[in-house]
Amino acid sequence: MKFNSFAFIFLSPGFSPEENTVSTQKDNYRFKAVGIDMANKAIALDVAEQLAKEGYQMIELCGGFGPEWAYKIAERLKNEIPVGAVFYGPQFRKQLADLME
């Protein structure tokens, strides 16, 4: 199967999938980004499941999820599609924490 779609789930204060989803497409390639409230990461399980049903071939998570959520989501999807995550090195922990205040 040719790679033609992926989705990104990200965290931001007060965001919801209903109001903060963006998608784009060109030719036969599509991308969707879904925003979720930082205080309710569990919604990502249902969002990921819906993205898989829509045919997205892989899902990336923002660094705020951490490896445990990448594992939970992959498990929920029965490892049927790749689930990865963006991570920042330890040298950026303070800068990121300051941004999230």
Sign, CA dihedral 56-58-61-66, equals positive
**Residue-wise pLDDT tens digits, 40-56:** 999 999 999 999 999 99
- CB neighbours of residue 62 within 10 Å: 20
Mean pLDDT in residue range 31-40: 96
Mean pLDDT in residue range 6-16: 96
Mean pLDDT in residue range 97-101: 75
pTM given for the model: 0.90
How sure is the predictor about 88, in pLDDT bands with cuts at 50, 70 and 90?
A: confident
